[in-house]
Amino acid sequence: MTALADPPAVAPPPAPPAPPALPEERPAPTRSRRPPKPPKPPRAPRPPRRPPRVLEPLSPRQRLARGVVGLLTVFLIGFVLSVVVYSHLAHAIAQNGLRGEYAAQLEEGTAPVSEGTFDDVLLRDGAPVGIIEIPALGVSEVIVEGTGAGELKLGPGHRRSTVLPGQEGVSVLMGRAAAYGGPFGGIQQLSPGEKLTVTTGEGEHVYEVIGVRYAGDPAPPAVQPGEGRLVLTTARGAPYFPQGIARVDARLITEAQPAGPRQTTALSLPPEHQELAGDARHLWQTLFTVQLLVASLVAAAWSLSRFGRRRTVIVFTPVLLLVALLVADQVTLLLPNLL
């Protein structure tokens, strides 16, 4: 009996590939815990509300004092606005109208050359009689007849008792230093030899500055026949606080024209047309505007007690400011005319 041969050995199957190595796990960092916040202290209780303040009623004397203070406050505000702001605006408007009126007269050949018109009617105060130009100061102003406070609100004024610029003799022009445009506020800076021109119905006249003089300084020699001189006059001192008079003398270097007839003399010149004079003719108008201001304040006080603060402020603020401007404008006429 034959022995069976062993079956051939079968190779074992290949071992499965080893799984990829996993990254080494690191322990997650532990967050440091903040210490717990301390408990908030208990909120202090609110103090009890203060009871409403009860004001004692004002006595008649206290009411009168409060009314006077209110009146003065409104007037002072209106006065400052009138002199510092409103006066310059009013001056610019007046000059614009005067320039158009005088340009028409020059074109028609009816510009005045004496104290009267071509119809032999005395020139009214405030009528245009010329144009002065000072290149060194950038000044170009229409000159009006008269030197009262009301006329100098419009522009430089020609003194009625003197000849017109460009004529034989001495011509005097006066102008404000600060308020209402302050057209002559810088004439003290003029140096000898500088030129200025004045245009009238007789043509253009050129003057050369001689110098500046103040009270107590000697006046230039008297003008000779055939010569002309111009004197510019204004106030000296701080703006809006005149403390004296400053004058600039200038000699005519073009041909002098014959002097026109004059009715007003130095003796007959009204006192309100002198230097640093106020115009008392406007006193009654000033009193009427003050009464209007008082009536407006009384109405505002009544409205305050009847309708409350808000409505009263809305309605009466523009009214009081407008009336205060009217009062201040009238008071300005009582102050020195060269202000």
pLDDT at 10 over 80: no
Question: How do 203-214 and 244-252 pair as beta strands?
Answer: antiparallel
Beta-sheet pairing, 169-174 with 228-236: parallel
- What is the distance between the alpha carbons of residues 227 and 240, in angstroms, rounded to a whole number? 35
- 201-231: pLDDT as tens digits: 999 999 999 999 998 899 899 999 999 999 9
- The domain 81-281 belongs to what CATH superfamily? Sortase (2.40.260.10)
The answer to whether residues 250 and 172 touch, using CB atoms and an 8 Å cutoff, is no
Closest C-alpha to 74, from 294, 240, 291:
294
Task: Give the Å distances, CA to CA, from 104 to 108, 114, 145, 156.
Answer: 6, 18, 17, 20
- Residue 288 has, within 13 A of its CA and on its CB side, a CA count of 5
Q: Tell me what pLDDT residue 1 has.
A: 47
Among residues 205, 183, 210, the alpha carbon closest in space to that of 194 is found at 210
The residues, ordered by sequence, that sit 6+ positions from 240 with a Cβ below 8 Å of its Cβ are: 83, 84, 178, 179, 339
Residues in CB range of 201: below 8 A, 6 or more apart:
105, 106, 109, 110, 111, 112, 113
**Residue 162 CB contacts under 8 Å (≥ 6 apart), including other chains:** 169, 170, 171, 172, 262
Report how far residue 335's alpha carbon sits from residue 37's, in angstroms, rounded to the nearest whole number. Answer: 76
pLDDT tens digits, residue range 101-140?
Answer: 999 999 999 999 988 877 778 899 999 999 999 999 999 9
Tokens of 76: 């002072």
pLDDT tens-digit map of 36-89:
777 777 777 777 777 777 767 777 777 777 777 877 887 788 788 888 888 999
What's the pLDDT score for residue 137?
94
